[in-house]
Chains A and B, each alone.
Chain A
Amino acid sequence: MRLTPFQQRIIKDEVARIMGEGVRLLLFGSRTDDDRRGGDIDLYLETPERRERAWHQVLRLNAALQERLGEQKLDIVLHQPGEPLQPIHLQARKQGIPL
């Protein structure tokens, strides 16, 4: 995985602060591949229950991470119970590395 321990710490802290505990967090996409360089940080989040305004939590998380990690291209994909699984969710679940 191509994230420094410091970056991983920040991501985990902010997910806990904004999304609360119990959220499944996976890193997927090009940053899981040690042989590549650069690229977006793709995060997959899964909430244990359905939430109101979950899109706003994701927006706040993205803003907080950009603030703390610097201007990075971050893509955050969210899945909530009861929502249909899209190809991107399946890809993230299959390939993702827990943080």
Chain B
Amino acid sequence: MTGLRERLAQILALLEKEDRLLCGVRERLFQVTPLDAPRLACLLETPEGIDRLESFTSKFSRMQDTFVDKLLPIHLRSLGELPGSAIDNLRRAEQLGLIENAESWVEMRLLRNRLVHEYVEDIAQLAEQLSLAREQAEALHHAYHKLRSR
């Protein structure tokens, strides 16, 4: 049990750092609001803009992975439950009131794969996808704080 508690504390500490970094880059990337297609195109003309986008995408992905693949299974175990697949754990987290909607978390994982793999050529679509990613990054932030306060 001690091992489990230690592991949980380690993951929470990691998430605290990831959360701080993601919030920071989220603010920097979405400084210009709304970040629509013309503004995004402008931003991506600069090396700083490109770095910011890359940084947001990778921190967004990393925090999702830590939350879904590391934190949720350990949290469930600490409640005496047996964790299952990522989708099962998300469903359980929804029942426990930790997250709003399991389906939108699956969507979040699919979205980040699109942001990471395809360098989207359609800038209007990229702007729309980023706006959704921004909302999802906020949901991630809230879920982490909710879980930490339990």
Contacts and interface: CB of A to CB of B under 8 A. Distances in A.
Interface of A: 53, 55-56, 59-60, 62-64, 66-67, 70-71
Interface string B98-138: 00001110110011001000000000010011001000000
A67 B86 CA distance: 10
Interface residues of B, number: 16
B85 A59 contact: no
Contacts of B129: 55
A62 to B, nearest CB: 5
Given A53-B128, A59-B114, A60-B103, 19 more contacts: A55-B125, A55-B129, A56-B132, A59-B111, A60-B107, A62-B110, A63-B104, A63-B106, A63-B107, A63-B110, A64-B103, A66-B106, A66-B110, A67-B87, A67-B91, A67-B102, A67-B106, A70-B85, A71-B87
Contacts of B110: 59, 62-63, 66
B103 A67 contact: yes
Contact of A70 (B87, B102, B103): B87
Contact of A66 (B87, B125, B128, B132): B87
Most A CB within 10 A of own CB, among B104, B107, B128, B132 = B107
5 contacts: A59-B107, A60-B107, A62-B107, A63-B110, A66-B106
A83 to B, nearest CB: 11
B114 to A, nearest CB: 8
B111 to A, nearest CB: 6
